[in-house]
Structure 1
Amino acid sequence: MSAWLEPPDGRPYHALDLRRLSPFCLMVAGPVWSTVEGHYRPVWLAWTVAVLGAGLFVAVVLLAARGRGRAAWLPLAALGALSAAACLGWGADWFYLFPLVGLGCGAALTGRAVPRVLLACTALVALLSWRDGAGIGEIMAFAWGTFGAGAVLAAFLHLHALIGELARTREKLARAAVAEERLRFSRDLHDLLGHTLSVMVVKAEAVRRLAPRDPEAAAGQAGDIEVLGREALTQVRAAVTGYRGRGLAAELDSARVALADAGVALAVEVAEVRLAPETDALYGWAVREGTTNVIRHSRASTCEISLAGGEDGTVLEIRDDGSAQTAPAGGAHGHGLRGLDERVAAAGGTMSAGPRPGGGFVLRIELP
């Protein structure tokens, strides 16, 4: 059985391997041997029926192997008629042709036609063998031989088709997983570098302003840029190995420093809520993305970050009083907000981002 399931070249078997059924045509050897011993007359007719039966079976198998199931129905019907005629005329050994008919049904037919035709052939061979005077043992042997041959082959081919479909589905899922991982990595990299580079730009501007009048303070800002650059390298390396975020507390600390350097006053109000690790990481990403956009786009003077918890879930809001939308020019969400929206949706939450009625911008995330 393993030779049928696992070919030498490692590829899954396809329909052409039905040609392996061709040697079963040797089941006509019993009638042929009895003909040689002189049990059936006329000899030329018995030989003709035997050769024609074997040829029709091989034709059914080859046509089915080429995927031409409908074309195989004609030789299959001819094989059934020939077998019935031989059993009516001679009986005895010619009943061995009916298992070939059963195999042909399993190879050429599909769907509901398989059990229906097999049951009809089984009833026919049982009736003919009973008419020929066979005992109950022989009747059952020929009947079950005919039905079993076709049913087992049909079940095997159906299982083979299911395995092929599962293999194709697995390949599609693998490709989808790769695409999703690429998307995740691109989001992580954008979030990491977008925030860090924005802070570095702000500090570089501070160095430029302070250098003429306060070299010591400028050197301190330059040192911060060096530290940020090293942290960015560490974070990028971590992203390659599956980095998912530093968490809410760490990002709030980073936001305080970054916003202070940008001249934005920050007010934080975080309720005592116990967050799951995934939620904590996601809120950390939200704070990182929100503060990055405040620094880059809002021209705000104040920013408020609040986290509230309730029975239905938790809500994070990042509000500013800027005169411009906290989003790229054009009003559409940039890569960062789109990526954050995808993360929130994947976690079963909702996200909204837009201008505030009284001015400014608000980013709201609600997670169950």
Structure 2
Amino acid sequence: MDEPKKWQRYQLPGAPDGYKMLPWMLLGLGGLANLLRTDTPNPWLGAVGLLTFNSLYIYVVFRAFDKRTREGLSVLLALAGMAAVTYGLAIGYGGAWRLLFPLLALACGTILRRKPLGPVMLLLGGSAGVIATWDSGDPWTAAAVGYGTALSGVVTSAILSLSETVRELRATREELAHTAVEKERLRFSRDLHDLLGHTLSVIVVKSEAARRLAPRDLDAALTQVSDIESVGRQALTEIREAVTGYREGSLTTELDGARSVLDAARIESVVRRTGSSPLAPQTEALLGWVVREAVTNVVRHSGATRCDITVDSSPERVHMKITDNGRGVGSEQPVGRIGGTGLKGLTERLAAAGGTLDAGPSTRGGFLVSAELPVGADQELEPTP
């Protein structure tokens, strides 16, 4: 989103803009009244000066609410032109023309909202006071003109800076809300992919096993059917947890489930766990996702007859390897070394938790998924990618 459109979107009700700065041009009515007097020398010169000043003022204030145009050279030149006209008319005519100084300061305040504002206001206020003293000889009038000039610029700059800050904060808040929505969508899509992909694969494998066993061993077939019912109920629970964002997995539970799925698919499973370092819940959950995705891919795509799962935890890091002796295919959408949607999503999750995931054909044949995480990874279960 580009800057002008973003600011226009977050315009506050009643916030200053170019149109709201136009009524201040009424300060120049005193000079206009002087032009109508018959004793004013060279009235045409004052008229040209007033017209030039007002034109430059309109040009400046309508470019003061866009950062790109506000910082342009043409705006600074317009301010310089306004200053030249103001000093010329105030010195040449005096009287009501001195009120152009507060209007000039106001225009400067709309443009200069940083460090140069202070010195500029001191210069304008001081010079306006000096000219007023020279013209009227009244120190109180001079003080009023000088103070009013400096105050006009400072107050204008402060109000516009505050309004600008509020608009930027609102824009930032909206961007953060948008990012949070995108993060939640990504989390849910990942969970749904992993949950449904694994669950449907288990149901298919168990159904095939029940069909094979039914003609010769009805009790074993009924056991598989009972497992299908349990898997379906568990899937409903996990989907509800995924929707609410509170799902946490257990590595032991996932390993037991992996054995059951591999056995039903007639794939020999070998699970080894070494090391006694306790794992943080987030670490267990992430490794459980890795087991789910890898075993699902083994069952669906590898054509393997054996799958080895090794978990080795040291005091600081935990390593997991999942290998099979199949065709070396690890997902339905192989992309480079990392597999399809599931493995790519897991790679991002582990990276956000300070870990790594590598997947690809093994040098010994088959497919290898290797994961590494800190033992005490303290990260959200679904981190921002």
TM normalised by structure 1 equals 0.80
The equivalent of 2:25 in structure 1 is 25
What is the CA distance between 1:94 and its match in structure 2? 4.0
Q: Is the 1:130–1:139 contact (alpha carbons within 8 Å) kept by the matching residues of 2?
A: yes
Instruction: Give the SS at the match of 1:317.
Output: strand
Determine the C-alpha separation between the residues in 1 that align with 2:110 and 2:88.
22
What is the CA distance between 1:199 and its match in structure 2? 1.1
The equivalent of 1:283 in structure 2 is 287
The equivalent of 1:212 in structure 2 is 215
Q: Is the 1:59–1:75 contact (alpha carbons within 8 Å) kept by the matching residues of 2?
A: no
What is the CA distance between 1:253 and its match in structure 2? 2.1
What is the CA distance between 1:222 and its match in structure 2? 1.3
**Mean alpha-carbon deviation: is it higher for 299-308 or for 199-208?**
299-308
What is the CA distance between 1:220 and its match in structure 2? 1.7
Residues 153-205 of structure 1 show CA distances to partners (whole Å, capped at 9, x for unaligned) of 23433343343333333333333332222222111011001111111111111
Q: Is residue 269 of structure 1 aligned with residue 273 of structure 2?
A: yes
Query: For residue 236 of structure 1, what is the amino acid of its counterpart?
Result: I
What is the CA distance between 1:30 and its match in structure 2? 6.5
Flag the 1:355–1:324 CA change in 2: closer, same or farther, 3 A. closer
Determine the C-alpha separation between the residues in 1 that align with 2:309 and 2:138.
90
Determine the C-alpha separation between the residues in 2 that align with 1:146 and 1:295.
81
The equivalent of 2:317 in structure 1 is 313
Q: Is the 2:49–2:89 contact (alpha carbons within 8 Å) kept by the matching residues of 1?
A: no
Q: Is the 1:306–1:318 contact (alpha carbons within 8 Å) kept by the matching residues of 2?
A: yes
Q: Is residue 340 of structure 1 aligned with residue 346 of structure 2?
A: yes
Q: Is residue 361 of structure 1 aligned with residue 372 of structure 2?
A: no
Determine the C-alpha separation between the residues in 2 that align with 1:10 and 1:363.
48
Determine the C-alpha separation between the residues in 1 that align with 2:213 and 2:79.
94
**Mean alpha-carbon deviation: is it higher for 335-344 or for 170-179?**
170-179
Q: Is the 2:56–2:82 contact (alpha carbons within 8 Å) kept by the matching residues of 1?
A: no
Sequence identity, in percent?
A: 41
Determine the C-alpha separation between the residues in 2 that align with 1:326 and 1:78.
72
**Mean alpha-carbon deviation: is it higher for 249-258 or for 17-26?**
17-26
The equivalent of 2:176 in structure 1 is 173
What is the CA distance between 1:343 and its match in structure 2? 1.0
What is the CA distance between 1:116 and its match in structure 2? 6.3
What is the CA distance between 1:50 and its match in structure 2? 9.0
What is the CA distance between 1:83 and its match in structure 2? 3.6
Determine the C-alpha separation between the residues in 2 that align with 1:276 and 1:336.
23
Q: Is the 1:355–1:362 contact (alpha carbons within 8 Å) kept by the matching residues of 2?
A: yes
The answer for unaligned runs of 5 or more in structure 1 is 1-8
The equivalent of 1:296 in structure 2 is 300
Determine the C-alpha separation between the residues in 1 that align with 2:75 and 2:323.
73
The equivalent of 1:3 in structure 2 is none
Q: Is the 1:204–1:221 contact (alpha carbons within 8 Å) kept by the matching residues of 2?
A: yes
Instruction: Give the SS at the match of 1:203.
Output: helix
Flag the 1:107–1:226 CA change in 2: closer, same or farther, 3 A. same
Q: CA RMSD in A?
A: 3.7
Q: Is residue 107 of structure 1 aligned with residue 116 of structure 2?
A: no
Q: Is residue 42 of structure 1 aligned with residue 45 of structure 2?
A: no
TM normalised by structure 2 equals 0.77
Indicate which of 227, 233, 238 corresponds to 1:235.
238
Determine the C-alpha separation between the residues in 1 that align with 2:76 and 2:269.
83
Determine the C-alpha separation between the residues in 2 that align with 1:163 and 1:342.
35
Q: Is the 1:21–1:61 contact (alpha carbons within 8 Å) kept by the matching residues of 2?
A: no
Q: Is the 1:289–1:337 contact (alpha carbons within 8 Å) kept by the matching residues of 2?
A: yes
What is the CA distance between 1:269 and its match in structure 2? 0.8
Determine the C-alpha separation between the residues in 1 that align with 2:14 and 2:52.
22
Residues 101-122 of structure 1 show CA distances to partners (whole Å, capped at 9, x for unaligned) of 1112223567777566545433
Determine the C-alpha separation between the residues in 2 that align with 1:328 and 1:28.
76
The equivalent of 1:349 in structure 2 is 355
Q: Is residue 160 of structure 1 aligned with residue 166 of structure 2?
A: no
Determine the C-alpha separation between the residues in 2 that align with 1:205 and 1:41.
108
Query: For residue 351 of structure 2, what is the amino acid of its counterpart?
Result: A
Flag the 1:15–1:115 CA change in 2: closer, same or farther, 3 A. farther
Q: Is the 1:15–1:66 contact (alpha carbons within 8 Å) kept by the matching residues of 2?
A: no
The equivalent of 1:131 in structure 2 is 134
Determine the C-alpha separation between the residues in 2 that align with 1:21 and 1:57.
14
Flag the 1:29–1:265 CA change in 2: closer, same or farther, 3 A. closer
Instruction: Give the SS at the match of 1:24.
Output: helix
Instruction: Give the SS at the match of 1:325.
Output: coil
Q: Is the 1:266–1:304 contact (alpha carbons within 8 Å) kept by the matching residues of 2?
A: yes
